[in-house]
């Protein structure tokens, strides 16, 4: 069944990329400055190396000044004042795609703080704000789901995880068939590939953008199981499941066990990269596997530069570069 909205693959051309500048000391505690520096570096890289205009949400003039100070002089970055919660716009902003006539449309799921874990003011409202700001047609769903829970190839194949999409903290009582019916009534979908679960220490309950990403038509990239680490068994299972789908499967190395400065384990992965117009931005963790991950992505995207940026400080808050970006597709 094909719904009315086509969500493009991320490697298709973008009009711009939406991000949000973190500002809450309550949410980030002593890590706020580091998180702001990470977002600033990402904005610069998307705009400059990625040749992609950036629209950065800022809470007010004071936050806008702080963002400008962190980012510095950089072209193609617009500061847009809005009420928003935190920087995880992959989940709080709507997914943007094209209607059958080629106009921009927006898919808005219900949002409940990643299964009622985090109640941050304006996280549930900023999506509707963007739809009104862009003046586009809204396709709404009663599903409680986040953008990071669905991966699209732009040609009707999607990937998700049971541990998130069917979790009782989001959609109690929903089964695979029910979710497939609901999603296919909204977006172009030929098939939905189900993976059982995501990474350990991932408070999203296993978002797919941490474990498997489309990099070309019929081609998916996932983490290759390492010899040891907190996610060895789950990454081995994910790769095996993907190889049964008929897709071409490419792999990235595992960064191994990665910890925050205070010793907390982080859901580290190289899969949370962002595909900009002319670059792929890769999360780095300061480990030897960073180089292998860079080379693997460079082979998968020969026409794009691969730019690595440190990701530990951002990952402390729960995600990396894909989690904090929401692309607005260019007109078809």
2: in domain:
no
Q: How far apart are CA 224 and CA 249, in angstroms?
A: 10
99: in domain:
yes
**pLDDT band at 228, cuts 50/70/90?**
low
96: in domain:
yes
Q: Which residues are catalytic?
A: 323
Q: What is the mean pLDDT of residues 49-59?
A: 98
Sign (positive/negative) of CA torsion 203, 207, 209, 210? Answer: positive
9: in domain:
no
Residue 281: the pLDDT is 98
Contact assessment for residue 59 and residue 332, using Cβ atoms and an 8 Å cutoff: no
123: in domain:
yes
Phi, psi of 154 (to 5 degrees): 80, -5
4: in domain:
no
Residue-range definition of the domain harbouring residue 20? 14-329
Residues 6+ apart with CB under 8 A from 243: 249
Residue 3: the pLDDT is 84
**pLDDT band at 256, cuts 50/70/90?**
confident
What strands, in cross-sheet order, belong to the sheet with 212-216? 212-216, 219-223, 248-252
1: in domain:
no
232: in domain:
yes
Per the structure, how many domains does the chain have?
A: 1
Q: What is the mean pLDDT of residues 210-233?
A: 88
Give the closest residue to 12 by CA, choosing from 281, 328, 247: 328
Q: pLDDT per residue over 279-301, tens digit each?
A: 999 999 999 999 999 999 999 99
CATH assignment of the domain containing 294: 3.75.10.10
């Amino acid at each position: 069944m094909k719904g009315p909205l086509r969500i493009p693959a991320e490697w298709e051309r973008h009009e711009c990329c939406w991000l949000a500048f973190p500002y809450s000391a309550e949410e980030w505690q002593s890590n706020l400055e580091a998180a702001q520096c990470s977002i600033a570096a990402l904005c610069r890289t998307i705009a400059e190396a990625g040749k992609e205009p950036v629209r950065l949400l800022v809470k007010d003039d004071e936050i806008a000044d702080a963002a400008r100070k962190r980012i510095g002089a950089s072209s193609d970055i617009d500061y847009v004042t809005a009420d928003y919660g935190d920087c995880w716009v992959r989940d709080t902003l709507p997914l943007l795609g094209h209607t059958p006539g080629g106009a921009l449309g927006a898919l808005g799921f219900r949002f409940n703080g990643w299964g009622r874990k985090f109640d941050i003011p304006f996280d549930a409202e900023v999506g509707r704000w963007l739809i009104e700001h862009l003046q586009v047609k809204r396709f709404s769903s009663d599903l409680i789901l986040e953008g990071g829970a669905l991966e699209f190839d732009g040609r009707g194949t999607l990937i998700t995880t049971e541990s998130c999409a069917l979790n009782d903290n989001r959609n109690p009582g929903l089964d695979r068939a029910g979710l497939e019916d609901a999603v296919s009534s909204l977006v172009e979908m030929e098939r939905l590939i189900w993976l059982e679960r995501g990474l350990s220490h991932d408070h999203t309950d296993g978002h797919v953008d941490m474990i498997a990403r489309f990099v070309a038509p019929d081609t998916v990239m996932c983490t290759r199981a390492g010899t040891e680490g907190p996610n060895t068994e789950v990454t081995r299972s994910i790769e095996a499941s993907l190889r049964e789908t008929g897709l071409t499967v490419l792999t990235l190395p595992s960064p191994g066990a990665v910890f925050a400065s205070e010793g907390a384990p982080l859901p580290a992965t190289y899969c949370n990269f962002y595909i900009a117009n002319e670059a792929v931005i890769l999360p780095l963790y300061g480990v030897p596997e960073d180089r292998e991950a860079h080379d693997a992505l460079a082979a998968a995207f020969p026409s794009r530069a691969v730019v690595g940026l440190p990701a530990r400080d951002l990952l402390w808050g729960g995600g990396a570069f894909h989690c904090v970006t929401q692309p607005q597709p260019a007109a078809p």
